[in-house]
Structure 1
Amino acid sequence: MRKSWVLPALMATTVLTGCYHFPVPAPCPAIAQATVVSVTVTREYAAQVAALHLKACQGGVCKESDVELRPGSDPVDQGCTPEGVCSATASPNGTRLGMLMLDTLTEELMDLTATGTAPDGSALPERTLQFRPRAAYPFGEECGRFITASVSLDANGLRQSDPE
């Protein structure tokens, strides 16, 4: 007799929770942030750079290394099928991309120095830049903040890249 109230209570709870949609937060992507300074050597300057060396200093800690430069590319939309399957391909764009791995990356000011050599072995001019890495929430504030340090290098020097 005492348990006769359990079945109606369970049915009421099931009906109430089944009809009411509780807000469910969107899942966050499982993407780890890379602590790097990324550099893009512009298309116009890429042929003049055979090797590149970067030195980044932030918060009294410096890290430097030769940077491996890889060909850059732009995405080319290949369209979508009627079933909704979409694709893209990469097309070389003449730029060269590199990364300097860091132990940490914050929004604190960073001093960056780029040196290197030309294809004939001569030294490239030393270029310096002081900039503040940018913070963004590309997947929403509930998914955490990403900090990026991106620069481009051309014949005129280093400059902070625009956020995408």
Structure 2
Amino acid sequence: MSAIIDSFIAPPCHDDIQILWQDEHLLLIDKPSGLLSLSGKNPQNLDSVHYRLVQTFPGCTLVHRLDFGTSGLMVVARNKAINAALCQQFSQRSVEKVYSALLCGHVENDEGVIDAPIAKDPALFPLMSICAITGKPARSRYQVVERF
């Protein structure tokens, strides 16, 4: 397998991050689609959720990420102790994450489980692919809400 080269350059995202809730420990934000969660290795990808938030909330850290093209809610810790506690909850899978998606194509069953190892796809980076060699375990339960 070839090495992953981060040549992806994110187009500018002009949408704002909406802060839905905040206290001295946490932020709950709505990340827009088209914004990186973290700046990444490529210096041309400076703009990100983390980059924008540390301007106003120094010391904040991301507890989890959402893919570049995914919009949705994110939990942000405002200090290292809260980050450690929340990261432990995520790693122990005591946090339930729910995603809604509009798909193009046909899903045969109305519900099911996709259990396959996923990894960055060197040819299609930043997209992911199923890879039994370098992929990390991933399990998603799905349920069709509506068919068009």
Shared fold (TM-score, shorter chain, > 0.5): no
TM range (shorter): under 0.3
TM-score normalised by the chain length of structure 1:
0.23
TM-score normalised by the chain length of structure 2:
0.24
